[in-house]
Every structure is written in structure tokens, then in C-alpha cells.
Amino acid sequence: MPSSKFSRRQLLLGAAAFSGRLLATAGQAQVESPPAPIYSRDDRWHPVMGVAGMVASQEAIASRVGRSILAAGGNAVDAAVAIGLALAVTLPRAGNLGGGGFMLIHPAATRETIALDYREKAPLAASREMFLDAAGNADPEQSRDSHLAVGVPGTVAGFALALARYGTFTWAEVLQPAIALAEQGFPVSQDLHESLAFARARLSRSPASRAAFFKPDGSLYAIGETLVQPDLARTLRLLASEGPSAFYQGAIALAIADDMAANGGLITQADLARYQPVIRQPVRGRYRGYDIESMPPPSSGGVHLVQMLNLLEPFQLANLGHNSAQTIHLMAESMKLAYADRSRYLGDPDFVPVPVAGLTARRYADQLRSRLNPYQATPSVAIAPGNPQAAQRFESNETTHYSVIDRAGNAVSNTYTLNFSYGTGWMVPGTGILLNNEMDDFSAQPGVPNAYGLIGGEFNAVEPEKRMLSSMTPTLVSRDGQIYFATGSPGGSRIITTVLQVVLNVLEHDLNLAVAAAAPRIHHQWLPDELRVESGLSADTLRLLARRGHTVIERATMGSVQSVGRVGDRFFGAADPRSPGALAIGL
């Protein structure tokens, strides 16, 4: 039974939810929410404010590039593409040309958000057993560190498509800031200096990476010294003059294919020539009267974000208190149920029948909630994936996220990645392009965890031209068709739970965007059965969670949330204080 320290109201809410009584009111829980003050609360940190647009990214120079595009009359998509290209220069651990990602675009004119999927694909020669050793066991070195680890990159094609359909600037114009940064260099930040120091051994295996990121004697660039990347500058210039096809059919494609052939990789010119980004419908949900739009499969992010919001909405977490033991317990138990489902039902929808409608149905959440004990942690071994088909009717910080909103109300939420920090660490000679190791996001062997400890199933087995399952969760929250805020985060398996907490912090707990980003986070992913927490929770909260049966482990910070929002004619932004180089900047 619950501790007597809980208030009578908490006990009633918990008990009601467990017995199903609260569920009866769930349908009526379309509670008119108060306008959540993403900008107010003068007693706490403020978000950044602007009057004509807002940009937030993990790297300050790239944020300024985005702002300058908006200031020059570009829209949110122009700015987003220019930021993504600039990050490939200034945040090489995650910004990229040789990786892939997802971009949600909300055009203010039509209010029809699209989900642009430019995720990497397995090459044509990939096979189900390619990451198994002679004994039939998964070999992580092959899926993370070798040329076999590389998925066919999608970033250049994705950005080009976004710009062509929704932008107003030319491809050459949005490449210009990145070219200048690569050619003329930029001052090495503390963040870049430290991440290069951390990745030095991994990067030094590749002669091109070593030459690009370290001095001739192998030493690090000091903070404030200028880093020039001539090979990358040449590649960017080629993209500007010949267009994105240079990457997929021209000189860059040839360089990638040659490097693959020389190092046991699988990607050929044919793989690159066949790569196509896909425009998909976002996953949609509702929470307290706000519309949630997020990334559909092949990301698991949107599906499980909506699933967890559905599970949690009837609990009235605001009454239980932000980051109280009771609230954290309910979030953790919801996370376990969602991640168990992820292990079975998520994969590339072009290859496997992902039951998106079932997983995001309120009716399914109602069923799952009956398995959620509001008082005591259910051991993960006692949790199996649910049965969403029945409802079908109805860190590390390897990735990076940025958000943009412009004067007209166009908004972009973009998360892209090389998977690990600097991907494989391998740079294609002469190009400045770092290769991703995204193939590790497939399940090398059903039931064997990947680098994030995530268990995958048959649906996420390797197949030629399949997209590997992701957790990236670029998200837009709107009301009456108008964007309220855009958010997202890096963090591997922690991305989905990080975004969940930002959305809850604003919509449920009434925190502004800055406080929502800064507040301590928790994470549970079903397996391993541990409740990971950041520092900053009170000792008695941790004690109460342990008493409920959670194995609580305090670890490093999770995620790097970059959010922008709008209320009326004012724009707001918040860069995650966990990332020292991040910047939200308004216009």
C-alpha cells in the first residue's frame, strides 16, 4: 500500500486510476487547459524572446546562421536547411552530410504538417545475418565500427527536398554560410574541443578524420583556435554548383563507393543513386486540448510519445506534482509499457505492418493502463508487449535537434544524426564527410540489445533497402492549427522520454519553455529494468521511488532539448542548459 506520506488527493487519484474509476472520466478529460505560459513566470528562468521568429539549436554559430536567413527574408524551411548544413561544419559529431534524420514541416498557409523521412537505408547487399559472427552471435564491432555499419546517407536528399517543396531560397544560397564556415574556419568552442578530445582515439583510426580535426602532430585545437575544413568546403562547393545529385550520382557518390569498396563496406553507386527521402503523415495525438504531431515510423518516437501521453493524461499529473515520486512512478511505468511494445511492433513501415493506429489509440492506452500499478513498480520481466492490433480499428548526445519558427508561423522541427558521436569516426578521403554507423539501430539479432540497450524484434531485422528503426522525436504542438511550440532532442533511446517530459512540463505542469528544458529528467526503457534519473531530484523522492520497487540509478544528463514557441505575436525559445554551446536566438 502507498505510504501514508501521500496526500489524500494523491491516494484518491492513484487508487481511482488503478481501479478504473478515473478512466471513466478519461473521455471527459478534454479539460480546457489554461493557456500554458511558455513564456511567463517572472520568478523563474525566462525563455529568449523575439518578435519576428526564433531559432534554437545545439550550436551557437549555426543558430546565428538560421537567424540571419530569417532576417534576410527566408522562411523557417530556408533557415532550417541552412542550419543543418552549417551544423555539418560546426557540430561535426552530429551535424552531418553522411547521416540522416527526420524533419517535421508545418506550412502556415495550409496548416498541413508533413513528416519528411530522410533516414538512412540498408544497402542493397545487406543481409539479415550480416552482423553475426561465425558462432551466430551479434558482433557489435561490425555494426558500430566497420564500414558495414554505414547506412546509405539521406541528409543531402532530405534537405534538398525540403527546400524545393517548402523553401524560398535557392540551394546554393542556403549552402553559402556552411561553405564560408568550412573555408574560412570558425573558433573552436569548449564543447567541440571536449568532444574531439573524447573521440580522439576513434577519429584517429581514419587518416582523413585525423587530418581534418587534429593538428599535424596529432594535438587538439585549443579553445578559440580556428578550425578550417578545406575538404568539406570543396564538397559543399560542389553541392552548390552541381546540386544535390553530386552526392548521389556524381563525384561524391564515386568517392563514397570507392571508399566502401576499399574497406569492406557495402554501399555502391547504385545504392546512392536509388536513395529517395519520403514524405509521410505525422503521427497525431491530443493532450489537454493541444494537438501533438510527431515523427511516424521508421521512427518509434512519435508513436510512443503519443502512446505515453494517452496513458498518462487521465492521471492528472499536475495535481500529483512535477517530479514528485508519484508522478515519476507513473511516467516510468508508462515508459516500460511503451518500450516493451517498441521491441515488438516497430520497424520500417515500407517493410513491416507497424500497428500505428492501434498503438496510438486511446482505447489501447486504456487497456494498457489496467496493467499499470500506480503504487508499485512492476518488474520488467513481468511486462510483455501488449496487443495493439486489437485496437487497430480506431550518450551520449550523438544526435542533434533544432527548431525554427518564422514570422508567418511556418515551423520546422528537425532531428538528424550520425548515430554515435562522429558516427563510425571514418571520413571519406578528400570529402570531409563523416560516415554514420546507423546500421547498429537494426536488431542484429532479435532480443540482443543495440548500443542503447534497446531490444529489437523481427520487425527491425536487417533487410536490403530497409530503414533502421529510430527513436528520434521531432515534435510540434499546436492549438487551432497554429503552432504553439516545436521541440525535440538527441539522446538515443532517451529521446522519446525526454520529449515526453518537455511536453508534459509545458502542457501539464505549466512550466515555461526554459524551465521545461532545464528540469531534471528521468528515463525507463523497460530493459534494462532501471529507472535512470538526472541529479536534482530530492533525496526523499528517490527514497520513495526505491520503496516502490524501482531500481533508481543516477547517471549523466540526458538529451539536449531545443525548443521554439509562439504566443500571439511573440516568439519564445529555449536552448537546453545541458549543452554549453547551444543557443536560442530571436529576431
Nearest partner of 300 among 331, 340, 329, judged by Cα: 340
In the annotation, is 399 catalytic? Answer: yes
Stretch of 206-214, 330-338, 470-478, 563-571 contacting ligand GLY, by CB under 6 A = 470-478
Which span sits near ligand GLY by CB under 6 A: 229-237, 469-477, 530-538, 555-563?
A: 469-477
Q: Which of 470, 487, 505, 563 binds ligand GLY (CB under 6 A)?
A: 470
Q: Does 189 bind ligand GLY (CB under 6 A)?
A: no
- Name which of 282, 297, 472 is nearest 388 in CA terms: 297
Residue 108 CA, distance from chain mean position: 23
Q: Is 126 in the site for ligand GLY (CB under 6 A)?
A: no
481 φ/ψ angles, rounded to the nearest 5 degrees = 80, 0
Query: Where does this chain touch ligand GLY (CB under 6 A) — which range of 143-151, 383-391, 465-473, 575-583?
Result: 465-473
Which residue bears the cell 501539464? 508
Nearer to ligand GLY, 66 or 491 (CB): 491
| Chain centre to alpha carbon of residue 564 | 15
**Which one among 143, 327, 399, 410 touches ligand GLY, defined by CB under 6 A?**
399
Q: How many residues bind ligand GLY (CB under 6 A)?
A: 9
Rounded to whole angstroms, the Cα distance separating 227 from 26 reads 56
To which residue does cell 574541443 refer? 193
The closest alpha carbon to 186, from 281, 294, 62, 295, belongs to 62
Q: How far is the CB of 437 from ligand GLY (least distance, A)?
A: 9
Burial class (CB in 10 A: 0-12, 13-18, 19+), 256: buried
CA distances, 124 to each of 63, 97, 242, 467, 511 (Å)? 37, 20, 26, 12, 47
Count of CB atoms situated within 10 Å of the CB of 76: 33
CB of 262 to ligand GLY, least distance (A): 26
Q: Which is nearer to ligand GLY, 471 or 579 (CB)?
A: 471
Applying CB under 6 A, the span of 69-77, 124-132, 237-245, 466-474 interacting with ligand GLY comes to: 466-474
Q: Compute the residue count for the chain.
A: 587
Q: Which of 163, 455, 472, 486 binds ligand GLY (CB under 6 A)?
A: 472
Active-site entry in 399, 400, 431, 475: 399
What burial class does residue 230 get, using C-beta atoms within 10 Å of its C-beta: 0-12 exposed, 13-18 middle, 19+ buried? middle
Closer residue to ligand GLY, CB minimum distance, 308 or 537:
308
Cell readout for 341 is: 511494445
Binds ligand GLY by CB under 6 A, chosen from 231, 441, 510, 576:
441
Give the nearest distance from C-beta 472 to ligand GLY in angstroms: 5
471 near ligand GLY (CB under 6 A): yes
Helices (H) and strands (E) in the chain, counts: 21, 21
Q: Which of 434, 553, 416 is nearest to 489 (CA)?
A: 416
Among residue numbers 290 through 329, which ones bind ligand GLY (CB under 6 A)? none
| Residue 419 interacts with ligand GLY (CB under 6 A): yes or no | yes
Q: How near is the Cβ of 490 to ligand GLY at its closest, in Å?
A: 8
- Least distance between ligand GLY and beta carbon 309 (Å): 19
Joined together, the cell numbers standing for residue 447 give 532480443
The nearer residue to ligand GLY, 93 or 550, going by C-beta atoms, is 93
Which residue lies nearer to ligand GLY by CB, 229 or 470? Answer: 470
- Please, are residues 299 and 470 in contact by the beta-carbon 8 Å criterion? yes
Question: Which candidate, 548, 447, 531, places its Cα nearest to that of 494?
Answer: 531
Q: First-to-last CA distance in the chain?
A: 53
Among residues 57 and 400, whose Cβ is nearest to ligand GLY? Answer: 400
User: Is 145 one of the binding residues for ligand GLY (CB under 6 A)?
Assistant: no
User: Which residue's CB is nearer to ligand GLY, number 50 or number 297?
Assistant: 297
Q: Smallest gap, in angstroms, from Cβ of residue 454 to ligand GLY?
A: 8
Instruction: Please provide residue 293's backbone torsions phi and psi, each rounded to the nearest 5 degrees.
Output: -125, 135
Cβ-contact 169, 74 below 8 angstroms: yes
Selected from 316, 414, 417, 487, the binder of ligand GLY by CB under 6 A is: 417
Determine which residue in the list 177, 409, 432, 492 makes contact with ligand GLY, applying CB under 6 A: 492
Q: Rounded to the nearest whole angstrom, what is the least distance from the CB of residue 230 to ligand GLY in the complex?
A: 29
| Window 53-112: residues binding ligand GLY (CB under 6 A) | none
Q: Of 456 and 586, which CB lies nearer to ligand GLY in the complex structure?
A: 456
Residues 6+ apart with CB under 8 A from 251: 238, 242
| Min separation Cβ 346 and ligand GLY, Å | 11
Helix, coil or strand: residue 192: helix
Residue nearest to ligand GLY according to CB distances in the complex? 470
Closer residue to ligand GLY, CB minimum distance, 324 or 487: 487
Is 155 near ligand GLY (CB under 6 A)?
Answer: no
Min CB(155)–ligand GLY separation in Å = 13
The rounded distance, in Å, linking the Cα atoms of 267 and 137 is 24
Closest Cα partner for 186 from 254, 105, 88, 270?
88
- Residues marked active site are found at 399
Binding site for ligand GLY (CB under 6 A): 399, 417, 419, 438, 441, 470-472, 492
